[in-house]
Amino acid sequence: MDFIIISVGNELLCGDTQNTNATYMAKRLTHSGHRVKRIIVVPDDVEEIAMEISRARDMADFVLVTGGLGVTHDDVTAEGVAKALGRKLVLNKDAVESMKGRVGNEGAIRKMATLPEGSEVIKNDVGAAPGFIVENVAVMPGVPREMENIFEKLISRFGVSDYHEEQVKVEGFEDRIADKLQIVVSEYPDVSVGSYPKPGYIVVKFSGKDRKRVISAKQRFMELAGLV
């Protein structure tokens, strides 16, 4: 399946917070054999959220949204999702139930339980605001441990397909291996080849659905680079 991840929050755009949620989900999805087509960061703005979700739904099988489900003025993600899908915001009884005994403020419960009409609620076991799914959009809180709690309940729904990954560490800089990588890319179009420079060395990653092809591509590169 193809996914797009949308992270909501002004704190991400101004650099106060690292986007670890997107990294976590992208890695889990990739290793489950799925493809992440985009990672998008948007501000706490209803119109911006709605616009990006509308675009993403046309480009991917499923859209994953994190952030903006709390009780403050800038928690407007549910409203943005509702606008993108053309649905009303309503008080969700399942969401209310999921917070009973955990949240004492009735106003806070109503705020976090007001979701797009028809939403399926995903209970948050480690925090307050529940996650929810509506059509092909899943929405989770932005607090990393809360996002992970809900995401791990969702990922099994998407299934698993074959995925294999191999890595090679090469001393030096990319100019040493650029021509070799191009040969491997042309000979193995079904294998994804990535080159990641580090201080004093490069990590070359080979990945794909066919284990034998991935291993063969790695071996071919090592031969070309004089590593065997």
The helix (run of H) or strand (run of E) holding residue 65 is: strand 62-66
CB contact set of 117 (below 8 Å; sequence gap of 6+): 82, 87, 88, 89, 90
Residue with tokens 């028809």: 118
Convert 202-217 to b/e letters by CB count within 10 Å (16 or more is b).
bebebbbeeeebbebb
Across all residues in the chain, what is the average pLDDT?
96
Residue 134: predicted pLDDT: 98
What is the CB-side half-sphere exposure of residue 149 using CA atoms within 13 A?
17
pLDDT one-digit tens code per residue, 77-122: 999 999 999 999 999 999 999 998 888 899 999 999 999 999 999 9
pTM of the predicted protein model:
0.92
Domains of the chain, CATH where assigned: 2-158 (3.40.980.10), 164-224 (3.30.70.1130)
Residue 104: predicted pLDDT: 83
List the chain residues with pLDDT less than 50: none
Q: 82 is written with which tokens?
A: 């509702």
Task: Give the bridge partners for 35, in sequence order.
Answer: 2
Contact 193, 202 (CB under 8 A): no
Residue 101: predicted pLDDT: 85
Residue 162: predicted pLDDT: 94
Contact 129, 69 (CB under 8 A): yes
